[in-house]
Amino acid sequence: MKSGNGKIMSGKNKNDLWAFFSSVKLALFTFFALALASIIGTIIPQGGEFLHFVESRHLSSGTIKVMQALSLPDMYHSWWFVGFLSLFAINLIVCTIDRFPNLLRLVRMDNIALGVDRIVKMPQRRQWFTAAGVEDAESFFAAKLAGFGWKVRHGAHDGHTLLFAQKGPWTRLGVIGVHTSILLIFVGAIIGSSLGFKASLMLPEGTTAAQVYSSGNDNATIPLKFQLRCDWFELDRYDNGTPKDYRSELTVLEDGHEVLKKAIEVNDPLVYRGITFYQSSYQPIKGSYAVEISDKARNLSHRFFIRPGKEIKWPEAGVGFGIVEQRPLYPNSIRHKIWFNDPAGDPVEFWVANGSRVPVVRGGNKYEIVIKQMYATGLQVAHDPGVWFVYAGCIIMLLGLYVAFFMSHRRVWVVLTPTDDGRLKVNFNGSTNKNRVGFDNHFNHMAEELGADESINLTRE
């Protein structure tokens, strides 16, 4: 007796817990809790801005300590916020497991064995009588329903002859799709944060890096299995001075060999070995300039990163050059006075506006010079093996929402029952789980056409 009682008790407890975690009440609670907590995070600046915030508000050290104890400076990663997210995920998992069998039963249900009593009580119904025989009536309705676009199944149950057809039974699973998609996004996020990294890199033009710096609190260095070189950085501005484009020409090297070249821009990153390099910012390197000289006759070209007041040699072309003077150029640029020499004659000096391409004619040869500010390109670096789970989740969510909201499971039955006076009673019934109005119209339209068809002469009495 005692043990039996205990069993019932533990079973009941388990059911209570299960019911709690699968309940919509819990879902509504977590929606509310997550929404409310998120508001806090948008009001209190997160991460690096937090210190600035507490200083500007002159908060007492006690308040700051409480905020730090609650992890408010990094709220979205705090134990309690992640706790709410976990609760949300558990709720989704349990609720899905809880409802799935029932939904699957509805999808796979044998609607012919449903029972005539239940079928004739479906929301949409018509009743007729006909003098036609069972086989004639059966083939008439089968042909008509097929004409309306239904795939008909035949059956018999308890002395009744039945026809059944349905559309979109699987659409009942749309809601499962939506819930699973959210879990898939969570999985992607967990994979991304545990196996991936976010980092950054400031890479001056002409230099090569083999490591990046984690964006996490530790700023740890993350070694790359290859090297990345910035060959050139270009900044384009609109007439009003705001940046139009910034572009970095990058080269990937493996053991000193060039394996990939790509010019990246914002919105157009470089991907190599699962690591993505995003153009995110730039920084001028004060007092340094990037020069590109092409020797047209010999089809040679070379880039130099230089400081003014020093002669630079390009032995390959026999050229020597340098910046000897600089002056501002209206409205927000500068120009450089270049000293230039090659074997063709005496050295020359000339002015070049920053960033513009100028020809230099020397004897029979022609050179082209462009000189501009030297920059370091700012790159965001990300490795996120979870992102495809997230994207898959996003697509499944949209499809699932569409199915769950805009598609329905529609069913129609025709039940043929012989009557005492030797005729046939015809019950035409239908049901839908959504969009009742639309289905009503469709059903009424079908019923009217069936009733008007004279081949088996359906009558109301």
Q: Which of 27, 103, 407, 447 binds another protein (CB under 8 A)?
A: 27
Using CB under 8 A as the binding rule, the residues of this chain from 63 to 82 that contact another protein are: 76
Half-sphere exposure of 66 (CA within 13 A, CB side): 4
DSSP letter, residue 176: H
How is the beta sheet containing 153-157 ordered, strand by strand? 124-130, 424-432, 410-418, 160-167, 153-157
Question: Nearest-CA neighbor of 145 among 411, 377, 341?
Answer: 411
Cα 168 versus chain centre, distance: 28
The residue within the footprint of another protein, chosen from 92, 128, 384, 442 (CB under 8 A), is 384
From residue 289, give the alpha-carbon distance in Å to each of 102, 135, 292, 399: 71, 93, 10, 53
Q: Which long-range contacts (CB under 8 A, 24 or more apart) does 329-335 make?
A: 329/353, 329/354, 331/241, 332/241
x/- contact string, 1-20, with another protein (CB under 8 A)?
--------------------
Return the residue matching tokens 């990058």: 250
Q: Spell out, one character per residue from 258 to 297, where the chain touches another protein: x when CB under 8 A holds, - when not.
A: -------xxx-x------x-xxx-----------------
**Does residue 332 interact with another protein by CB under 8 A?**
no
**Site residues (CB under 8 A) for another protein, limited to 163-192:** 189
CB-nearer residue toward another protein: 34 or 300: 34
Residue for token digits 């969570």? Answer: 186
CA 83 from centroid of its chain's CA atoms = 24
Nearer to another protein, 59 or 266 (CB): 266
- Total residues at interface with another protein (CB under 8 A): 45
Measured from the CB atom, is 265 or 316 closer to another protein?
265
Least distance between another protein and beta carbon 232 (Å): 17
DSSP state of 356: -
Q: Is 240 in the site for another protein (CB under 8 A)?
A: yes
Q: Does 398 bind another protein (CB under 8 A)?
A: yes
Task: Enumerate binding residues for another protein (CB under 8 A).
Answer: 24, 27-28, 31-32, 34-35, 38-39, 41-43, 45-46, 76, 189, 198, 238, 240, 242-246, 265-267, 269, 276, 278-280, 380-382, 384, 387, 390-391, 394, 397-398, 401-402, 405
